[in-house]
Amino acid sequence: DAGVTQSPTHLIKTRGQQVTLRCSPKSGHDTVSWYQQALGQGPQFIFQYYEEEERQRGNFPDRFSGHQFPNYSSELNVNALLLGDSALYLCASSLETSGKSRDTQYFGPGTRLTVL
Amino acid sequence: QKEVEQDPGPLSVPEGAIVSLNCTYSNSAFQYFMWYRQYSRKGPELLMYTYSSGNKEDGRFTAQVDKSSKYISLFIRDSQPSDSATYLCAMKIEYGNKLVFGAGTILRVKS
């Protein structure tokens, strides 16, 4: 059973650049959520995608955007990178049940982004 | 004040000890409670998942939820060096989409 996969594993960018991170959900899952985890902190919710639409968004600026494809995979885009965007970016997948988000979320290994 | 509070530790115990990890929360709407284990530079791995109040046991792990006190616990029996990791508590409201995490507790089990 394929778990959640993310690419790339590591990424180094400079301030002002743009980055795209990719996620494939666990087999059978249809919902993808993205989290940012700063060093020594718990993950912070960025947004969630279901049926190719952003369903809910956390307290992140518009520089953070995403997309979900018909095969349920997802991308996270961050524009105008700041030093403070350096973090582990985690993708989590889950299965919508009866139109309500009841199932818990399974995480991928993350993409470590360093902004210089 | 954060919605979920968790002592960051580190908590250092000898091999074989019983470990108690805890979180408190302020949002009484939380209904789903989870514990994740995260090894260094890896993604969180789901350990326990509990709905509403009560206890749940899985092998050496027991999760407890006390909604009246807004307090959740994870107990690890017969702790092993391989249990050394960061333990994250997470919570979700009914029909909610996002998980709200604590900061994580670093656990070190010494052999």
Instruction: Residue A53: list chain B partners with CB under 8 A.
Output: none
pLDDT digits (tens, 9 = 90+) for B50-104: 988 889 999 999 999 999 999 999 999 999 999 999 999 999 998 788 999 999 9
In angstroms, the Cα distances linking B81 to B21, B87, B105, B111 are 16, 14, 16, 6
Query: What's chain B's length in residues?
Result: 111
Is there a contact between A1 and A104 (Cβ–Cβ < 8 Å)?
no
What is the least distance, in Å, from the CA of B31 to any CA of chain A?
10
Is there a contact between B87 and B74 (Cβ–Cβ < 8 Å)?
yes
In percent, the amount of chain B with pLDDT more than 90 equals 84
Q: How many CB pairs under 8 A join A and B?
A: 62
Neighbours of A60 (CB within 10 A): 16
pLDDT digits (tens, 9 = 90+) for A35-60: 999 999 999 999 999 999 999 999 99
Residue A34 clears pLDDT 80, i.e. is over it:
yes
**B50 in contact with chain A, both atoms CB, cutoff 8 A:** no
Q: Which of A101, A105, A108 is nearest to A4 (CA)?
A: A108
Q: Which of A43, A60, A16 is nearest to B38 (CA)?
A: A43
Is there a contact between A92 and A49 (Cβ–Cβ < 8 Å)?
no
Residue A40: CA atoms inside 13 Å, Cβ hemisphere, count? 4
φ/ψ of residue B81, rounded to 5: -55, -30
pLDDT digits (tens, 9 = 90+) for A87-113: 999 999 998 865 555 568 899 999 999
**A5 in contact with chain B, both atoms CB, cutoff 8 A:** no
Residue A81 clears pLDDT 70, i.e. is over it:
yes
pLDDT digits (tens, 9 = 90+) for B3-47: 999 988 899 999 999 999 999 999 999 999 999 999 988 999 999
Side chain identity at residue A48, one-letter code = Q
Residue whose token pair is 């009914």: B94
Q: What is the rounded average pLDDT for all residues in chain A?
A: 93
Q: What is the pLDDT of residue A98?
A: 54
